[in-house]
Amino acid sequence: MSGRDTDGEAGGDAADGERAGGGGETEMNLVTAVNETLARELHRDEAVRLLGYDLGPIGGVYRATDGLYETFGEDRVIDTPLSENGILGTAVGMAMRGERPVPEIQFLGFFYPAFGQFMYALAKMHKRSGGALDVPVTVRVPYGGGIKSSEYHSESTETFFVHTPGVRVVCPSTPRETKGLLAASVRSDDPVVFLEPKKIYRGFEEPVPDGDFTLPLDEARVVREGGDVTLIAWGAMVRRAETAADRVDADVEILDLRSLSPIDVDAVLDSVRRTGRCVVLHEARRTLGLGAELSALINEYALDSLRAPVKRATGYDVHFPGHQVEDAYMPDAQRAQYAVEAVMDYEF
C-alpha cells in the first residue's frame, strides 16, 4: 500500500544527527532561511510540493515563498482555495500516494478548521494502516505574538499538537536552526507541525550554511551552559531568555527545546540535575501549556536534584489580547528575569 519511491534520500535518517554538506555560510534572517530551504528541497526532491493560501504569485503573506511559484510552477507551489481543512486533507491524500507535501496554514490561529484532518488523518494514518502508509507532510505554521497583529493572528497553541501522538512538533529559534530543522522535517517520513516564530522572521541575521544542512529532530540545543538555573525556551522566546540571562545575577543554562514533541527528556533532566533549578519560558497560556509537562517530568524524575520549585514564566490563561495590551500578556526578558531571580532566592 506504500506510495511510489522518491529519490531515496527521504527517511528517518534525517533525525540521526547534524549533517552539513560543506561550503561557506551566508548571513540571512529567519524568513529567508525558510525560503532558501524550501527552494532547496523543491529542487532536491520532485515529490516535494508546497500548497496553501497566498503561496503563489504573492509569495505568502510573510513572503516566505517569495519567487518559488515563478521558479517551480503552479503544480509544485500550489495556490489553494481558502480552506485550511481542505489544504491539510488534500496534503494527506498526496502523501499517501508518495508525495512529500509541505502545506502552509497562514496563522496558527487559523488552524482550527483543519483539526479534523489533523486528528483523523494526518496524525493517525500511519498507525491506522499498521505502518503500511507513510504520511510525510510538513505543515508550516507561523505562530506567536508580539508583532502588533490582531488576536487571532498571535496565538501559541502548540499544546494541541503536542498532546497528539503520531506527529512531530518542531520550532526553530534562529535562521541557522530554521534551515537545519526545516530540511530535516521535510525529509522525515513523519508528519511534522513546523512552527515558525514570526516575531523573529526578520529580527536578526546569522550565518547559515550554504550547502545541504540538516539538524536532528529529537535533540534539544544547549544555547549556553550555566550552573545555577536551567531556562527552557523555544522559538521567539529563546532570544528573550538570552537577554534575561545577560541581565540576571546567576549562571543561567539556556535550553532551546527545538523539538516540542517528542521532548528530549534526557537533555532536560541532565540540565536540571546539574543546576537544581528550572524556569520554563513560553508564550502559550499557562494551564496545560508545555511548561506544565516539563514541570511534571522534572518533578517525577529529578525531584531529588531540585533546590527550588519549577516556575513557569508564560502567557496568562486568557484569549490573546488586542495589541494595546499584548506586551503585558507576552512573557519578556523581564518576566523571565523575575522567575529566575525567584527560584534563585528560594530556600527549602
**Which residues belong to the active site?**
153
**Distance of alpha carbon 142 from alpha carbon 67, whole angstroms:** 19
Nearest distance from C-beta of residue 118 to another protein, angstroms? 10
C-alpha cell recorded at residue 218: 529529537
Could you tell me if 268 and 294 are in contact, meaning their C-beta atoms sit under 8 angstroms apart? Answer: yes
The only residue of 86, 203, 276, 321 in contact with another protein, by rule CB under 8 A: 86
**Residue corresponding to grid cell 515558525:** 196
Cβ closest to another protein, residue 166 vs residue 203: 166
The only residue of 8, 303, 328, 347 in contact with another protein, by rule CB under 8 A: 303
C-alpha cell recorded at residue 301: 524524575
**Distance of alpha carbon 330 from alpha carbon 242, whole angstroms:** 16
Cβ closest to another protein, residue 89 vs residue 145: 89
Cβ closest to another protein, residue 292 vs residue 342: 292
Quickly count: other Cβ atoms within 10 Å of residue 16's Cβ.
13
Helix axes 290-301, 265-275, angle to 10 degrees: 60
Nearest distance from C-beta of residue 341 to another protein, angstroms? 28
Over the window 243 to 272, marking each residue x when it contacts another protein by CB under 8 A and - when it does not, the resulting string is -------------------xxxxx--x---
Q: Residue 77: in which H helix or E strand, if any? A: strand 77-79
Nearest distance from C-beta of residue 116 to another protein, angstroms? 6
- The answer to whether residue 85 forms part of the interface with another protein (CB under 8 A) is yes
Return the residues of window 165-224 that contact another protein according to CB under 8 A: 165-166, 168, 188-190, 218
How many residues belong to the chain? 348
- The answer to whether residue 292 forms part of the interface with another protein (CB under 8 A) is no
Return the residues of window 92-121 that contact another protein according to CB under 8 A: 92-99, 101, 113, 116-117, 120-121
Nearest distance from C-beta of residue 69 to another protein, angstroms? 14
Query: Site size for another protein, by CB under 8 A?
Result: 60
- The answer to whether residue 57 forms part of the interface with another protein (CB under 8 A) is no
The bridge status of strand 259-261 relative to strand 168-170 is antiparallel
**Residue corresponding to grid cell 491524500:** 93
Please choose, out of 32-40, 193-201, 221-229, 301-309, the segment that lies near another protein by the rule CB under 8 A.
Answer: 301-309
**Distance of alpha carbon 307 from alpha carbon 74, whole angstroms:** 57
C-alpha cell recorded at residue 158: 502548540
**Distance of alpha carbon 141 from alpha carbon 185, whole angstroms:** 13
The DSSP string of 19-61 is EE--S-EEEE-HHHHHHHHHHHHHHH-TTEEEEETT-STT--T
Cβ closest to another protein, residue 168 vs residue 198: 168
Which positions lie near another protein, rule CB under 8 A?
1-2, 11-13, 15-16, 49, 75-76, 80-81, 83, 85-86, 89-99, 101, 113, 116-117, 120-121, 125-134, 165-166, 168, 188-190, 218, 262-266, 269, 300-304
